[in-house]
Amino acid sequence: MRISIRIVFTDPSVVNQVECNMTSVEAGFQFLKKNGLNLISVMNCVDLPARTLKFMQGSGIPIIDYRRLVLIGHGGRCMWQTLKAHGMDSANPIDRYSIFLTQQFISTYLDNAAVLWLYPTLQYVVPLQQLGEFSGWSFPSPLGSGISSEYGVWFAYRAAFLINAELPLTFSTSAPSPCNNCFKKPCVSACPVNAVQVESFALESCIDHRLSLDSPCADRCPARLACPIHPEHRYTLEQIQYHYRCSLAALHDWYGH
């Protein structure tokens, strides 16, 4: 999906090394969580897996010039409520809201430190799912999107930036993938075109079906809805339709329908 949000990039050579105040950082996490961005991970750049580092460097991201990568996401229903209360009267309201909150977090709780925005921007391709897996947020699933032991398939990545400060690292408990104990795999049988397979996701079949006339997958994914993990975090139908209509519009743009 194309977004055009103007962001000022920071030259890494003039990045400040920020003294961080643990209490302030924690208060900033609480601020983000209260406003719906309830998944936060602070990673040590040098500890990232080799394939992720390689991908990011190949994408032009000066990862080795920074100390920490901060990944921010939302899980469950809270973000949609806070977003609606904030207002959705703009193009790309979720990206705008995520940037607004993340900028507040940086200015108020990180002493307005210089950062390099990674996402959402059009500047870089960031392997968000690899970062989510490294953070312990998610595991690969037959759906292509990740699955979280806390939120099931109902979470997404909302912002990411690099910072040259010794922010305290976050640690996650490593619960097993929910897919391991899901023997019936209802996501697989619920897909009308067998795009969802245990070992892979047939993206082309999914896209063809979504673009077909009167597709039942135009504004939802029956396979995702069939996942029984953490149904209490399943987005409302309004939110589901919002996301799927956006991605369908992007597919129509790309494929010229």
Binding site for ligand B12 (CB under 6 A): 55, 125-130, 138, 144-146, 155-157, 201, 203, 206, 210, 221, 243-244, 247, 250-251
Q: Which amino acid appears at position 4 of this protein?
A: S
Instruction: Determine which residue in the list 61, 83, 143, 156 makes contact with ligand SF4, applying CB under 6 A.
Output: 143
Q: How many CB atoms lie within 10 A of CB 213?
A: 5
- What's the min distance (Å) between Cβ of 253 and ligand SF4? 18
Of ligand B12, ligand SF4, none, which one sits near residue 125, judging by CB under 5 to 8 A according to partner kind? ligand B12
Of ligand B12, ligand SF4, none, which one sits near residue 186, judging by CB under 5 to 8 A according to partner kind? ligand SF4
- What's the min distance (Å) between Cβ of 96 and ligand SF4? 26
- Under rule CB under 6 A, residue 196 binds ligand SF4: yes
Token pair belonging to 44? 């040590």
Q: Binders of ligand SF4 among 197-226, rule CB under 6 A?
A: 206, 209-210, 217, 221-223
- What's the min distance (Å) between Cβ of 129 and ligand B12? 3
Sites of contact with ligand SF4 (CB under 6 A): 141-143, 147, 153, 178-179, 182, 185-187, 191, 193, 195-196, 206, 209-210, 217, 221-223, 227, 229
